[in-house]
Chain A
Amino acid sequence: MPHTNPQKIPLIQGFWSESTGDAASLRLIGNKCKACGEIFFPPRRRPWCIHCQQGALEEVSLGPRGKIATFSIVMQAPGGGFYKGTVPYAYGCVDLPEGVRVKALFAGADFDRLTVGQEVELVIDPLYQDDNGQDVVTFKFKPIEGQGGKP
């Protein structure tokens, strides 16, 4: 279990790992197909490559850095009551150097730093507090200081 702090509850298990328990070792967990080389994130529930139709997936670490491919700042709460985080919030796509596009939230409220091509890094960040006051956390991407962004 990467998360030893009882105050922090991961939104979902098995999507990220911190091998040494510190932020510097944070990586996403994905799959690579041993037959065609395709990379998947989130990790697939079955060891099955939907690209080449082979059952040849292995686990790989992804990130922690990538570039914003696209994004949007959402100004109103989603319908249905599933999302309990703050509004506005930003999500978009990040291209990782391993060759996979990932859909993710962006950390922080400094939305001016979000631009296509901006370098970002992986963080684990609170999404909302549950009924017991505990932080539910998830993976997000945060713009890297001094790298790209609007002047």
Chain B
Amino acid sequence: MKPISQMRSVVVAGIGITPWGAQGEQECYDIGSQAVFHVLQDAEMTWPDIQAVFCGSVYQGTGSGHQAIKEVGLSGIPIVNVENACSSGASAMRLAYQAVAAEIYDVVLAMGMEKMPRGPIPSTAFRPWELASGFNVQMANYANEAVAYMHETGASVEDFGRVTVKNRRNGAMNPNARFQVPVTLDEVLNSRMVATPLRLLHCCPLADGAAAVILCSPDKLKTRRRGITVAASVLTSAVYGEGIMMGGTLESLKYPAAEGITELSARQAYEAAACGPEEIDVVQAYDTMAPAELWDLEKLGFCAPGDAAGLLDDGIFDIDGRLPVNTDGGLMSRGHPLGATGLGQIYEIVLQLRGEAGPRQVPGARIGLAHAMGAGPNSAVTILKA
């Protein structure tokens, strides 16, 4: 593999997003094209500038990216649809990044869009006997891991609830979030039980929405605004011996993994970006379920295993804390349009590094990290530098 230091540098030319939430009658392709118009405007580019498209989605059917792009322009360029579960948007980002870094294209659009089915996600990436046994309830798969995590670290459901409270507080400052109203710890702990020990407000809501970025070589920037550098864009899948139940793997008791996929993707990303976790100013962690944010921060190297709950309680992960996490409210407030989520995280990091995040701005943020997990399992880590 070619070292990243020998590849062309890639910058974010523009970012686009739609409001995330229940979009009623609006069709997915129109939501997607709305994000494309937004990103073109932000990058001060027009459709003929775009040389290739990677579009993440999960439930939108065959060739869905093409349908969204038809509402913008028909220029004969390659459009590739990317289905990689909840990391689809982040995977589209990585493909776009690679295409520019490898000097195949100079200007590439990565987008993600989703119009979600209502109710719990009907995850079907399981064997028929597992589906018939009810093993495809992702909240329950996370709940299983949460019980093991509580047993190992002493974390409590109250700790998980504090993740929701923090993220919903941040989401109240995000005009694109599905939920823009804070919740109290009591409200979380009294919400309906979904899969013990996790309750409804420990789960992220679904949402319809889209997000997009344009990546380019530095010489192709059209705005006077400085481009944000993509310092790393990494994707990993299952490693032998690690148990990630939402991705259908169980821990090997004889040969447990020495390094899990999140740790592996983080290590590769830090190496590519030539920085360590201590240099990161703002983080988008993967809070699809509240406890996951805690173990995510540990696996990404921001603290030792079992320490995240205490640091959360100390306010370290608040917007005015030492390491702000999920400044836009995370999946918990933003909602989870599967194909768009990874790019929604990247949208927020770019906004923070530009200093354009308004009331939720982290002062002086220079380096940001976004982490998107997905069934598979997948782990995608992106590091951006101002």
Contact residues of A with B, CB < 8 Å? 11-12, 15, 36-39, 42, 50-51, 69-76, 78-80, 82-85, 89, 91-93, 95, 99-103, 105, 111, 116, 127, 136, 138
Chain A positions within 8 Å of B254 at CB level = 37-39, 99-100
Whether the pair A74, B195 counts as a contact (CB closer than 8 A) is: yes
Q: With A72-B196, A73-B196, A83-B133 given, is the CB distance from A92 to B144 under 8 Å?
A: yes
Query: CA separation between A75 and B196, bound complex, in Å?
Result: 8
Q: How far is the CA of A12 from the CA of B130 in the complex (A)?
A: 10
Are A95 and B134 in contact (CB-based, < 8 A)?
A: no
Q: Which residue of B lies closest to A81 (CB)?
A: B122
Q: Which 7 A-B pairs have the closest CB atoms?
A: A80-B122, A79-B122, A82-B131, A72-B143, A83-B134, A70-B148, A12-B129
Residue of A nearest to B256 (CB): A101
Q: Which residue of B lies closest to A76 (CB)?
A: B194
| Contact status of A11 and B120, CB under 8 A, knowing A70-B145, A72-B147, A73-B196 | no
**Interface stretch (choices B226-234, B244-252, B343-351):** B244-252
- Contact, CB under 8 Å: B134 / A89: yes
Are A99's CB and B120's CB within 8 A? no
Beyond A11-B129, A79-B119, 8 additional pairs, beta carbon < 8 A: A51-B240, A70-B145, A72-B143, A75-B195, A79-B123, A79-B137, A83-B132, A116-B147
Total A-B pairs, Cβ < 8 A:
121
**Contact residues, B185-233 vs A (CB, 8 A):** 192-198
Residue interface bits B122-146, CB-to-A below 8 A is 1, else 0: 1110001111111111011001110
CB distance from A98 to the nearest CB of B (A): 9
Asked whether A70 lies within 8 Å of B195 as measured between CB atoms, the reply is no
**Contacts of A92 on B, CB cut-off 8 Å?**
144, 147
List the B residue with the shortest CB-CB distance to A45. B127
Taking a contact as CB atoms under 8 Å apart, the answer to whether A84 and B140 are in contact is no
Contact B144 A74 (CB under 8 A): no
Known contacts A38-B252, A84-B132, A74 near B147 by CB under 8 Å: no
Q: Are B121 and A79 in contact, CB atoms less than 8 angstroms apart?
A: yes
Q: How far is the CA of A3 from the CA of B122 in the complex (A)?
A: 32
Residue of chain A at shortest CB distance from B130: A103
Separation of A136 and B194 alpha carbons in the complex (Å) = 26
Query: In the complex, are the beta carbons of B131 and A83 less than 8 A apart?
Result: yes
- Answer whether residue B253 sits at the interface, using C-beta atoms and an 8 A cutoff: yes
Closest beta carbon of chain A to B205's beta carbon, Å: 15
B119 to chain A: closest CB distance in Å? 5
Inter-chain contact A78/B134, CB cutoff 8 Å: yes
Q: Which parts of B150-190 form the interface with A (CB within 8 Å)?
A: 151
A116 touches B151 (CB 8 A): yes
Report the interface size for chain B: residues with CB under 8 A from the other chain: 42
Q: In the complex, what residue of chain B is closest to A85 when comparing beta carbons?
A: B134
Q: What B residues does A15 contact at CB under 8 A? A: 129
Q: Which residues from A are CB-within-8-Å of B121?
A: 79
Residue among B134, B148, B240 with most chain A CB within 10 A: B134
**Is B151's CB under 8 angstroms from A72's CB?**
no
Our pick among B139, B151, B252 for the contact of A70 (Cβ within 8 Å) is B151
Task: Name B133's contact: one of A51, A111, A138 (CB within 8 Å).
Answer: A138
Distance in angstroms from A148 CB to nearest chain B CB is 14
State the CA gap A99–B256 with chains docked (Å): 11
- B243 contacts A by Cβ under 8 Å: yes
Cβ of A29 to closest chain B Cβ, rounded Å? 14
> Measured between C-beta atoms, what is the minimum distance from B209 to chain A in Å?
20
A103–B144 CA distance with the chains assembled, in angstroms? 10
Contacts of B133 in A (CB 8 A): 11, 83, 85, 91, 105, 127, 138
Q: A70-B148, A75-B193 are in contact. Are A91 and B132 (CB under 8 A)?
A: no
Verify B132–A82 contact, CB threshold 8 A: yes
Chain B residue numbers with a CB within 8 Å of A93 are 144, 243, 245, 250
Minimum CB distance partner of A68 in chain B:
B147
Asked whether A91 and B124 contact (CB < 8 A) given A38-B252, A73-B196, A75-B196, the answer is no
Determine the distance from Cα of A77 to Cα of B351 in the docked complex, in whole angstroms. 39
A101→B256 CA distance, assembly (Å): 11
Which residues in A have their C-beta under 8 angstroms from that of B135? 91, 103
- Residues 250-279 of chain B, each 1 if its beta carbon lies under 8 Å from chain A, else 0: 111111000000000000000000000000
Contacts of A101 in B (CB 8 A): 243, 250-253
Task: Determine the distance from Cα of A116 to Cα of B149 in the docked complex, in whole angstroms.
Answer: 11
9 residue pairs bridging A and B, Cβ less than 8 Å apart = A11-B133, A36-B255, A38-B254, A74-B137, A74-B194, A74-B195, A83-B131, A92-B144, A92-B147
Q: Considering only CB atoms, which chain A residue lies closest to B117 in the complex?
A: A79
Q: With a CB–CB cut-off of 8 A, which chain B residues contact A38?
A: 252, 254-255
A136→B129 CA distance, assembly (Å): 12
Question: Bound state CA distance, A11 and B128, in angstroms?
Answer: 10
Question: B250 — nearest CB in chain A belongs to which residue?
Answer: A101
Distance of A79 Cα from B140 Cα, bound (Å): 12
Minimum CB distance partner of B133 in chain A: A105
